[in-house]
Structure 1
């Protein structure tokens, strides 16, 4: 499965927001862009989709920015990807339905539907909080150790 840059950037951005969630503050696209090294212009497009998908809400003005609409443990990877990866979750197109409907039915039932269900089931089990917790485990791995 190949997730586009839009999907990867959306996930990274909302995980960053989930890390800051306890503060209750709104987070600007500029601060996310600087922290994660993602183009501000590209993030504006991503956040438009995240807002439409009810993953984030926004407030305008000097103290404005974005905030998650729910607690990090209530937002799944599936929720985020469904908001930004518009074609990723579309059903597979017919392959040979006109000439071999029995092969088409077998492909759909034995392969495509099984794959769609496995992806859906896997992605809805992982919350933003799960990813935040995993990131915390790896935080110390990048720290530089100084010995005197």
Structure 2
């Protein structure tokens, strides 16, 4: 599946953080977005590990964007949230990843692969700023 709840929550939390004047903690974000704090905290940590967010400890700690919102792509966000590249099907990038015994004769793989390339290109061009400005 291309976009899961993790990606959705990552996108929503980044929009809030981009508009915030100071770092926000997971508790504040989870309450504002009505999202499970533990699930959101894992997503935020993953985005920090991937260089999308900065994480600050202490009483005034929390999360803030690590880069300008024009430089954060939706593909970066979904990859960080999902822990892998988003794909339409398991075999989207490579026929060898096909779970079927007939992978080498698959009739739909070329189309699926082209679709995946178009989605990747679109997500690489779409930025956090684009989401906020729409």
4+ aligned runs moved over 4 Å, structure 1: none
Matches within 5 A, 1:120-135: 120-134=120-134
- Asked if residue 57 in structure 1 is aligned to residue 54 in structure 2, the reply is yes
Matches within 5 A, 1:96-135: 96-97=102-103, 101=104, 103-104=105-106, 107-108=108-109, 110-134=110-134
Q: Which segments of 5 or more consecutive residues in structure 2 lack a partner in the other structure?
A: 92-96
SS in 2 for 1:124: helix
* Aligned-residue offset at 1:88: 4.9
CA distance in 2, matches of 1:35, 1:81: 21
Aligned with residue 74 of structure 1, among 71, 78, 95? 71
Structure of higher CA gyration radius: 1
TM-score norm. by structure 2 comes to 0.82
Which residue pairs with 2:13 in the alignment?
A: 13
- Asked if residue 89 in structure 1 is aligned to residue 86 in structure 2, the reply is yes
* Aligned-residue offset at 1:107: 3.9
Q: Deviations over 1:15-42 (max 9, x none)?
A: 111122xx3x211112211211112111
Q: Which segments of 5 or more consecutive residues in structure 1 lack a partner in the other structure?
A: 135-148
Which residue pairs with 1:141 in the alignment?
A: none
TM-score norm. by structure 1 comes to 0.75
* Aligned-residue offset at 1:124: 1.3
**Kept after mapping to 1: 8 A contact 2:79/2:86:** yes
CA distance in 2, matches of 1:116, 1:8: 19
CA distance in 1, matches of 2:56, 2:26: 12
